[in-house]
């Protein structure tokens, strides 16, 4: 289906005889399309793997994927809109989708309350993983690139350090790290873990002049 749409787009570009700049924009969109498809595929496979770990039925998994994840996604992106009317519209749709999932007769509503709460937390967490790749954030990304210009082209060792600090050291207000939220299990303290494995160098040997004094 996407290949057919891309072919239609190419025909439209040729028919309209667009400028070189516009053709370059279309070509850029075609180049990033495979990466966007890979991102969406990875997202849904990740959500399905987490649902499979809980052992829920296909009907419940469908409610989570088609209703709960979109509902929490709308809740997260609503504050980003400048228009109050658009924010209210997205929040209203968020509440509508939640009500649909919790309605009597839904496969989700038949689950125990504890499992329902866990699935809602899972949907909220998975919605946060989905990164919007739209043109409206390019200006923000450009500004961030200038702010972090000194951190460009980091070697693999520094990148690994930053990744470890982000996943195991930085904590939210609720006291959890990214690793705890992802694996839903506590882990050892990072500082204690490092102290157990770092070989602290010995004190330097004193000079003879210091020993004589």
**Helices 20-54 + 2-16 axis angle, to 10:** 170
Q: pLDDT digits over 169-185, tens only?
A: 999 888 899 989 888 88
Segment (H or E) for 158:
helix 156-168
Q: pLDDT digits over 99-143, tens only?
A: 999 999 899 999 999 999 999 999 998 888 775 544 444 455 555
Mean pLDDT for 34-44 is 85
Closest CA to 3 of 28, 54, 37: 37
pLDDT above 90: residue 98: yes
Q: What is the pLDDT of residue 23?
A: 81
Q: pLDDT digits over 1-33, tens only?
A: 777 887 888 788 778 887 888 888 888 888 878
């Amino acid at each position: 289906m996407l290949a057919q749409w891309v072919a239609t787009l190419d025909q439209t570009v040729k028919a309209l005889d667009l400028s070189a700049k516009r053709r370059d924009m279309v070509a850029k969109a075609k180049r990033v399309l495979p990466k966007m498809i890979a991102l969406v595929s990875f997202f849904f496979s990740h959500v399905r793997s987490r649902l499979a770990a809980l052992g829920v039925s296909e009907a419940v998994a469908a409610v989570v994927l088609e209703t709960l994840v979109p509902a929490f996604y709308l809740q997260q992106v609503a504050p980003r809109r400048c228009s109050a009317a658009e924010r209210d519209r997205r929040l209203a749709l968020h509440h509508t989708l939640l009500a649909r999932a919790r309605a009597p007769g839904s496969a989700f509503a038949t689950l125990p309350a504890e499992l329902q709460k866990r699935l809602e937390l899972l949907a909220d967490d998975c919605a946060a993983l989905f990164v919007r790749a739209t043109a409206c954030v390019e200006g923000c990304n450009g500004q961030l690139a200038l702010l972090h210009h000194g951190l460009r082209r980091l070697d693999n060792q520094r990148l690994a350090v930053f990744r470890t600090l982000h996943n195991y050291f930085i904590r939210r207000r609720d006291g959890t790290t990214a690793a705890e939220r992802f694996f839903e299990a506590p882990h050892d303290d990072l500082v204690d873990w490092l102290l157990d494995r770092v070989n602290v160098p010995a004190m330097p040997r004193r000079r003879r002049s210091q020993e004589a004094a």
